[in-house]
Amino acid sequence: MPRQISYGLHEGDSRSKVLRLARQPAEKRKYRLIVTSPPYFGHRHYGKHEGELGREKTDAEFIRNLADTFSACRELLTEDGSIWIVIGDTRRNMHKLMVPHRLAIELVNKGYTFREDIIWYKKNNIASSAKANFTQAYEYILFLSKNEKSFTNLDEIRVQGNEAREGRNKTPPVHLLQHRSVNPDKGEIARLQKIIHGAKPNTPFSALPSTSEISRAYGYDPEKHCPTCYRKFKRHATRKRVGDHKHYPIFAVCNPSGKNPGNVWEISTKAHYGNEHFAIFPEDLVARIISFASQKGDWVLDPFMGRGTTGIVCALTGRNFTGIDLYSENVRNADQNISDAIHGRYDKKLVEDVNRQAEYMKLAQNSGDQSLQSFLLSERVVSR
């Protein structure tokens, strides 16, 4: 069964297309989410069109053009909609131009609420040969909402525990994990709470309930582990400082569905073979944004869609999609990719893509091809 979504693709300059869409009543306030990655400033050419963004003479002009486009996009967002811009900086000699920061300020001036600047940390980044500055190992994901509040669904993107990774705890065996409380004892909880809240600075520590007693009262086996942070439940019965008591028992557990992923996202980059668009962003990055900021059946827009990654993820997750790109070749590729995703032909490709960037680099290093190596590093074939 093909996946049931609608999509429409437009070829042309994103600002003019967005302005045109905004004049159609049916398009105004239709999109709950905009996800996009515009070109970098001054890095590469996608084709020969003079209206291509990123080729402006100055960074100020580039930022103004981007801000105008995204400001026009605001008209298309639902009142609870948000825009997510994956954007990297540009270095000119020793200067970093602060493109993401300056764009964010412009967009706030145009009415958006600046919600978050997420670091997309590219764990598989390739080291640069620079000696005076560091390898660029991350990009920003700017999250702005049309109004102060926007639609969000954190439960869709919760992640499982990572305490065990760097901490001393080892991942506990499955039979030692306890997902939720079992038969909490209300009477016992009330009795313990009374002791806890009635404690004075001179109450002896021995008169306070033990952490094991507390976790048992709440329905957690003190010897079992939380599936989110892998701590033992008796460690959840933490103690805070009150009066002369350095440790005063309280109880709190993690969300059993997992934890908030935080604002540093560690996601490997991807690159594709063949004649596909080079500067793609990974499907898992887009999937996290789409799952958090939209629901099945919503409309999603990408005004710089490239080979259609946003549309592909929309097809895989049941969202409708509108995409814009300056070049007919990209529109054709995106159309093919989204159609493949709708008909289940893309799923295999998702798996095949892994480690492509390292393969390209190895190839360039083995052949001693310096220009291919610097192309890979500078043109984002390996970094996005």
Ligand X SMILES: C[S@@+](CC[C@H](N)C(=O)[O-])C[C@H]1O[C@@H](n2cnc3c(N)ncnc32)[C@H](O)[C@@H]1O
Q: What angle do CA 91, 94, 95 make, to 5 degrees?
A: 55
Looking at the Cβ atoms of 52 and 335, the one nearer to ligand X is: 52
Binding residue (CB under 6 A) for ligand X from 5, 13, 33, 289: 13
Binding residue (CB under 6 A) for ligand X from 7, 39, 138, 232: 39
**Phi, psi angle pair for 120, to nearest 5°:** -90, 100
Closest CA to 324 of 31, 26, 8: 8
Q: In the complex, what is the shortest distance from the CB of residue 84 to ligand X, in angstroms, rounded to a whole number?
A: 11
Applying the rule CB under 6 A, the residues between 19 and 38 that interact with ligand X are 37-38
Q: In the complex, what is the shortest distance from the CB of residue 376 to ligand X, in angstroms, rounded to a whole number?
A: 15
Residue 51 near ligand X by CB under 6 A: yes
Closest CA to 301 of 325, 280, 283: 325
Binding residue (CB under 6 A) for ligand X from 53, 77, 267, 271: 53
Near ligand X by CB under 6 A, which window of 1-9, 154-162, 164-172, 277-285?
A: 277-285
Residue 52 near ligand X by CB under 6 A: yes
Looking at the Cβ atoms of 143 and 220, the one nearer to ligand X is: 143
Residue 211 near ligand X by CB under 6 A: no
Residue 99 near ligand X by CB under 6 A: no
What is the secondary structure of 253-315 as a DSSP string?
A: ---TT-B---SEEE-------TTS-SS---HHHHHHHHHHH--TT-EEEETT-TTTHHHHHHH
Containing 348, the helix (H) or strand (E) segment is helix 347-352
Residue 279 near ligand X by CB under 6 A: yes
Looking at the Cβ atoms of 254 and 326, the one nearer to ligand X is: 326
Q: In the complex, what is the shortest distance from the CB of residue 324 to ligand X, in angstroms, rounded to a whole number?
A: 5
What is the secondary structure of 166-222 as a DSSP string?
A: HSSPPPPPGGGB--S--S--HHHHHHHHHHHHH--TTS-GGGSPPHHHHHHHTT--T
**Phi, psi angle pair for 325, to nearest 5°:** -150, 150
Looking at the Cβ atoms of 18 and 229, the one nearer to ligand X is: 18
Residue 213 near ligand X by CB under 6 A: no
Q: Nearest-CB residue to ligand X?
A: 306
| SS3 of residue 323 by DSSP | strand
* Cα–Cα distance measured from residue 55 to residue 25, given in angstroms and rounded to the nearest whole number: 33
* Cα–Cα distance measured from residue 41 to residue 254, given in angstroms and rounded to the nearest whole number: 42
Near ligand X by CB under 6 A, which window of 154-162, 182-190, 326-334, 344-352?
A: 326-334
Near ligand X by CB under 6 A, which window of 92-100, 183-191, 194-202, 321-329?
A: 321-329
- Asked whether 147 and 80 are in contact (CB, 8 A), the reply is yes
Looking at the Cβ atoms of 251 and 299, the one nearer to ligand X is: 299
Size of the site for ligand X (CB under 6 A): 23
Binding residue (CB under 6 A) for ligand X from 304, 321, 346, 360: 304
Binding residue (CB under 6 A) for ligand X from 280, 316, 342, 376: 280
* Cα–Cα distance measured from residue 31 to residue 320, given in angstroms and rounded to the nearest whole number: 9
Binding residue (CB under 6 A) for ligand X from 122, 277, 288, 319: 277
Closest CA to 114 of 153, 76, 140, 88: 140
Residue 326 near ligand X by CB under 6 A: yes
Looking at the Cβ atoms of 214 and 315, the one nearer to ligand X is: 315
Question: Footprint of ligand X on this chain (CB under 6 A)?
Answer: 13-14, 37-39, 46, 51-53, 277, 279-281, 304-307, 309, 324-327, 330
